[in-house]
Amino acid sequence: MPSPREEAPLAATHDGSGAGSALEGVARASDAVAPTQDRDAVAPAPERDAVAPARERVVVAPARERVVVAMSGGVDSSVAALLLARAGHPLVGLFMRNGVHVDENESHKKSCCSVSDARDARMVAAKLGIAFQAVDLASEFGAIIRYFLAEYSAGRTPNPCAVCNRDLKFNRLLRFADELECAAVATGHYAQLELRDGRVVVRRGVDRDKDQSYQLFSVSEKNLARARLPLGGMRKPDVRALAADVGLRTAHKADSQEICFVPSNDYRKLLAERGVELHPGSLVDTSGKLLGTHAGTEHFTIGQRRGHGIASDKPLYVVALDPARGLVVLGSREECAARSMRVRELNWIGIDPVRELRCEVQVRYRHEPVPCNVELDATGARVVFDTPELSITPGQGAAFYSGDRLLGGGWIESAELAGAAGLALGPARQAE
């Protein structure tokens, strides 16, 4: 990561001193980039129930506001800043340093938060004439890295992007926004925000191939009320074309395809570098029959089909993990299917909790939502699929949708397997 000597802020310091002068006299914004108030575009919310107290209503901040723009050095955040600047918003661009050294040759320049990314973000900000600073978030990213490692150690598969959105982009950066007297935080997410009856509504981005609404399932409605997502109504080719038209250096830059603190895209290497204690043991089938051995449950994830080293006349999938016993359970496609799952730490966006909800659920980023029933209880919810669903992975997010509207979600705790028998294992459990 760049040091202070390599990447000096252009217009503001880390604590915000000097930001006021950098923003003085900048024209105020039009209403063009604020969330729209569309009371007809959203279906009525499900009937409310007394499972939990009604949430405090939130109101999206008005337009003509100062905005912090999270600038990663990629084309999406660059164009988000461009659109906001064109609308007249006074802006402060922020580049987040994560404290992780990135070997750009090793990462093939497809990660974010590198020295070159910081330079690109700074130069885009300079071209747009906006204030800019690089902020040290090594401590905050350290917490996300520790979460990442702990989840693998516990036999779960982490979702660091969702945690980053919840804890950093739409939480920590909001505190920076307060320090800089900014009303909102903008990012290059492909998702749409609007208002309905004073509540925040999140919709999928127009570009379904790039839609990132799933990664917002755990962000509080209160914080989403201060989010600005200028790219939600755009398609990626148009974003690149716009960047090229105005001569932004990021116009043709490759998209980030890696976790920012795993630039090699090899999380096993990170486990080794951080000294994570592995849980070696046995590979078994769903009846408990020994199939082989392995070097650590941390090297596997639920639904994994390859890389287990076991020859078979039919595909074998990772059905369950039990780090305490060092067990990796393999089974058929049918044995990997779940009829239901437990979800914890529920977060609702735009609606109040309901005792029962009919909707669709998306269980990982690249997953087509499937119909389900959500049954709330005191500790979370039981989600029952219409048909058994493959590869339900503890640690991943479960995002609830009604059509293209994100209703909220929670974290997958366990799965009720439809076909496996013989072993009650770790985060996955047998059907009762």
Cα–Cα distance for residue pair 346/379, rounded to 1 Å: 9
| Signed CA dihedral, 197, 198, 199, 201: sign only | positive
Q: Kindly state the tokens that stand for 25.
A: 């006299």
Question: Phi first, then psi: what are they for 297, rounded to 5°?
Answer: -60, -25
Measured CA to CA, the distance from residue 159 to residue 412 in angstroms comes to: 11
Tally of helices (H runs) and strands (E runs) in the chain: 10, 19
Cβ contacts of residue 377 below 8 Å, gap of 6+? none
Phi, psi of 395 (to 5 degrees): 105, -25
Query: From CA 283, how far away is CA 308, in angstroms rounded?
Result: 8
164 is catalytic: yes
DSSP state of 325: G
Residue 359 falls in the annotated catalytic set: no
**Angle of helix 75-86 relative to helix 115-128, nearest 10 degrees?**
20
Strands (E), 257-404: 281-285, 290-294, 317-322, 327-331, 337-348, 356-362, 370-377, 380-390, 397-402
Q: Which of 260, 336, 359, 372 is catalytic?
A: 260
Cα separation, 301 vs 281, whole angstroms:
15
Q: Which letter, b or e, does each residue of 217-250 get, where b requires 16 or more Cβ atoms within 10 Å of its Cβ?
A: bbbbbebbbbbbbbbbebbbeebbebbeeeebeb
Residue with tokens 């749409």: 192
Q: What is the DSSP string of 160-218?
A: HHHHHIIIIIIIIHHHHHHHTT-SEEE---SEEEEEETTEEEEEE-S-TTT--GGGGTT
Q: Residue 317 corresponds to which tokens in the numbers above?
A: 């999938």
How far apart CA 399 and CA 372 sit, in angstroms, is: 12
Radius of gyration of the chain (CA): 23
Set 112, 113, 164, 336: catalytic member: 164
Say which residues have a Cβ less than 8 Å from residue 189's Cβ, sequence separation at least 6.
76, 205, 212, 213, 215, 216, 229, 231, 232
The dihedral built from the CA positions of residue 79, 81, 83 and 85, taken in this order, carries a sign that is negative
Q: Residues with catalytic annotation? A: 164, 260
